[in-house]
Structure 1
Amino acid sequence: MFLPLGAIEAILKANEEVKKKQAGAGRIVFAKGDITQFKADAIVNAANESLRPGGGVCGAIHAAAGPELAEACAKLGGCRTGEAVITDAYNLPHKKVIHAVGPVYHGTDEDRTLLAEAYRNSLNLARDNKLKSVVFPAISTGIFGYPKEEAAKIAFGACAQWIRENQSYGMTVIMCAYDQETFDIYQKFIPKKKN
């Protein structure tokens, strides 16, 4: 199911699978669909250290943005794991693309730290560039092999902590699942209503 372009509010109304969690002045929104179609100030690319176009979400973002994105990435000279860099979005409906490099999964504490840093550094770049909404894929869960449930827990924790620490900024974080399995995992992080 692909969602039409539109404001976050329109997506929330149109897609019954979209859930949100308020966290201070910012918020985290859980969504399912084609990440390139979500309206947000910035889209996060699950990049590799060379910043070259790859498969999966990286390939989809590069294809939608056009060849200028690959040219801009080549000029940056790469990005270290856990870090993030920013480019224009070219043919995408976003202001910027944030390229975050998550770790290849080995099951270590360093993997967990680097994955959390990829999310935090992306949000710091968004804030530093005055961007108010960011749509994230499930970083490192594709060819980098990170287990989806563990990656989702780290992603949600890192984003929620960043929002708490930057409450006055009012960031909207969209955690976008491409498949039903990932979306079902994201559902676990939505607080249950108390009776």
Structure 2
Amino acid sequence: MPIKIIRQDITKLKVDAIVNTTNPSLDAKGGLDHYIHQFAGKELDVECRRIGNLKVGQACLTSGYKLCKYIIHTASPVWNIQNKNNEALLKSCYLSSLMLANEYKLKSIAFPLISSGTNQFPKELALQVAMNSIVSFLTDHEMMVYLVVYDRNSYKISSELFDSIEAYIDDYYEDEHMLVCNSIIAPRFSLIDALNQMDESFSTMLLRKIDESGMSDVECYKKANIDRKLFSKIRSNPNYKPSKQTVIAFALALELSLDDMEDMLNKAGFSLSHSNKFDIIVEYFVSQGNYNVFEINEALFAFDQSLIGV
């Protein structure tokens, strides 16, 4: 199952487990920890006292009481520029929590961006560690993972990447009126071209491209950030009508050129447009040779665009 980045109150999510970032003594002194304890009720305080202490990077599981099915508590690291283990400890928070969720056969889990608030982890680095840790876990496991950010200030991609994408958008963005005028003079593809596309459906082309790539089905849909059930529907139905985001997800997973991506989009009745910021951002990454769906989703989220593959 895929990763989904969302901007929401984590306590409002309907998931099997919410991850609570806490201190080693589990005493809910403030921040998200205190907030979660308030919603769950006093019974959670009692259970946490019974557990005792955690080492930084470790995780434990309790009932969610009034809040959800389970709460996974992880002792999160405080940023220390002199500590060479900062990233390893933060990674351990994610992996320990995910392994606990897997042990209890949970299907969905929601993480905050651990240590990016009062623990003062650099936000860009906190995001990078979170995504790398979750992606590495999902390579071998099936689970729906939400990465929840409460507001824009708690989420950052690098300013260099943001500025580069913004400049690319400025260079290539066309308003809808201009695009319509241009298309009257020089349409993107003719009726004959469109009819010629009918010899192969999106599903047929996708499965052919997967075979040609040498990837397994599982490798492809996980790289595309696509749910296994959705892929099964596509495989079993030659005439399946996907969303545009789904087509692009698979095109990225297969590392298609922009021309081949357009071909796959046309099979499903779509195309890339310079009047759409989502399309331009995808085009930017492909032009840079970066096909990483998760990194592209980070950028799309930063620009308030729909995400790929979820």
> Which range, TM-score by smaller chain?
0.7 to 0.9
Equivalent residue, structure 2, for 1:105 = 79
Count of matched residue positions in the alignment of Structure 1 and Structure 2:
164
Q: Which has the higher strand share?
A: 1
CA RMSD of aligned residues (A): 1.9
For 1:68, give the aligned amino acid: E
Question: C-alpha displacement at 1:137, in angstroms?
Answer: 0.7
Alignment of structure 1 residues 1-195 onto 2, 5 Å: 26-92=1-67, 94-107=68-81, 108-166=83-141, 170-183=142-155, 185=157, 189-190=296-297
Using CA pairs under 8 Å that are at least 6 residues apart, name the structure with larger relative contact order, 1 or 2: 1
For 2:145, give the aligned amino acid: V
* Runs of 5+ unmatched residues, structure 2: 159-293, 301-307
Distance across 2 between alignment mates of 1:180 and 1:85: 29
* Runs of 5+ unmatched residues, structure 1: 1-25
Q: Which has the higher helix share?
A: 2
Checking the alignment, whether the CA contact within 8 Å between 2:127 and 2:156 is kept in structure 1 is no
For 1:114, give the aligned amino acid: L
For 1:75, give the aligned amino acid: R
Greater Rg over alpha carbons, structure: 2
For 2:16, give the aligned amino acid: D
Question: C-alpha displacement at 1:161, in angstroms?
Answer: 0.4
Question: C-alpha displacement at 1:181, in angstroms?
Answer: 2.3
SS of the residue corresponding to residue 117 of structure 2 reads coil
Question: C-alpha displacement at 1:173, in angstroms?
Answer: 0.7
Checking the alignment, whether the CA contact within 8 Å between 2:75 and 2:93 is kept in structure 1 is yes
Distance across 2 between alignment mates of 1:189 and 1:41: 27
Name the CA shift for 1:124/1:189 in 2 (closer, same or farther; >3 Å).
farther
Question: C-alpha displacement at 1:163, in angstroms?
Answer: 0.4
Distance across 1 between alignment mates of 2:2 and 2:295: 16
